[in-house]
Amino acid sequence: LLCVQEDPVDRPTFSTIIVMLTSNTVTLPVPQQPGFFVQSRPERDPLDSDPSTTTKSVPTSVDDASITDLYPR
């Protein structure tokens, strides 16, 4: 999460990343919310007339960007 921060100032430097990867113990800063993340939001079933019934989760992102899973041939 540290490397995908929207503000470059919040991202670790390359030398810091090398230290993180080569050290056994490193104190990591708490990451801020990234500029892009996937969350779930409830979506009602359009065929269900009772709004009090259970909803299902639909993955979304903050900026409504589409996410495509690529599969090799």
User: Residue 72: its pLDDT value, please?
Assistant: 76
pTM of this prediction?
0.38
Residue 67 lies in a domain: no
Reported as a single tens digit per residue, the pLDDT across 3-51 is 777 778 888 888 888 888 898 877 877 777 666 666 555 555 555 555 5
Residue 15 lies in a domain: yes
- In this structure, what are the phi and psi dihedrals at residue 10, rounded to the nearest 5 degrees? -80, -10
Residue 68 lies in a domain: no
Residue 66 lies in a domain: no
Residue 1 lies in a domain: yes
The boundaries of the domain holding residue 9 are 1-23+35-42+56-61
User: Residue 21: its pLDDT value, please?
Assistant: 87
- Angle (nearest 5°) at CA 5 between 12 and 17: 20
- Per the structure, the count of domains in the chain is 1
User: Residue 20: its pLDDT value, please?
Assistant: 84
